[in-house]
């Protein structure tokens, strides 16, 4: 564990400030799952950022940020505990949430957190980000997150999808209909095929991609992360071939394919 027990105790005070936990034990039980998710996510972010010099100002982009719990925690950790300079851009099309987050950031003294209400595809900055990430971005917002990372040549891209509605609609004629006629299996099947296709697309774009369980399923059943790191693009051709085979087999094409074709 990169986040030590001592540091976890320090974070508990921060959770009270952001209202992610309260002094009411009953409420805390309901929010424990969310806390464990974002701490597990922070562990992965920290495993990637600790290799950089402490003198470097790191840039992170949170897509489909919502209440920004993960980004607030990340900023607090690097400002107070690890004492590293970070700038975090949070993007969400919900203007009310972004306004509320901006007020909270000002109250907390988080001067290098910025909040923009817009579509993920409309966001752009001049600098190269170290990490572009999303936690439970809905459906095609996951594809937009991955594309934004590629477009900005991000060193690392992390994505945990929330739902796969657009790809589930495409899953019709395929050789495994004996499995997907059961709706509970169809949902699981779509997640597996959808994120596999996205991972292959990321490899086709010059990233080394991996799919991991970032937190225990007892905290969320949506616990699968696509982790992509910029690497030597020596397996692009193989990834493209595997993508075409899988895509044609199940008649699914993530919208990410169309975004990348324009890049």
Domains of the chain (ranges, CATH numbers)? 5-163+207-230 (3.40.50.150)
pLDDT number for residue 30: 59
29 vs 13: CA distance, rounded Å: 16
pLDDT < 70: residue spans in the chain: 1-2, 22-30
pLDDT number for residue 22: 62
129 DSSP assignment: P
């Amino acid at each position: 564990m990169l986040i030590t027990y001592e540091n976890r105790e320090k974070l508990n005070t921060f959770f009270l400030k952001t209202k992610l936990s309260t002094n009411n034990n009953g409420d805390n039980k309901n929010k424990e799952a969310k806390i464990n998710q974002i701490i597990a996510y922070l562990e992965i972010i920290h495993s990637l950022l600790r290799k950089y010099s402490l003198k470097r100002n790191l840039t992170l982009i949170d897509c489909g940020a919502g209440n920004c719990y993960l980004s607030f925690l990340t900023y607090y950790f690097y400002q107070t505990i690890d004492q590293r300079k970070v700038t975090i851009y949070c993007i969400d099309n919900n203007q009310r949430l972004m306004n509320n987050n901006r007020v909270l950031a000002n109250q907390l003294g988080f001067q290098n957190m910025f909040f923009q209400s817009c579509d993920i595809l409309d966001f752009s900055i001049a600098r190269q980000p170290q990490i572009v990430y999303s936690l439970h971005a809905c459906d095609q917002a996951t594809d937009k997150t991955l594309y934004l990372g590629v477009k900005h040549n991000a060193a690392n891209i992390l994505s945990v999808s929330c739902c796969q509605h657009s790809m589930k609609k495409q899953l019709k004629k395929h050789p495994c209909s004996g499995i997907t006629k059961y709706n509970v299996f169809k949902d699981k099947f779509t997640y597996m095929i959808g994120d596999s296709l996205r991972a292959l697309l990321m490899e086709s774009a010059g990233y080394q991609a991996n799919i991991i369980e970032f937190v225990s399923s007892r905290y969320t059943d949506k616990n699968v992360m696509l982790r992509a790191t910029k690497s030597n693009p020596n397996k692009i051709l193989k990834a493209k071939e595997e993508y075409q085979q899988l895509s044609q087999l199940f008649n699914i094409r993530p919208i990410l394919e169309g975004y990348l074709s324009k890049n």
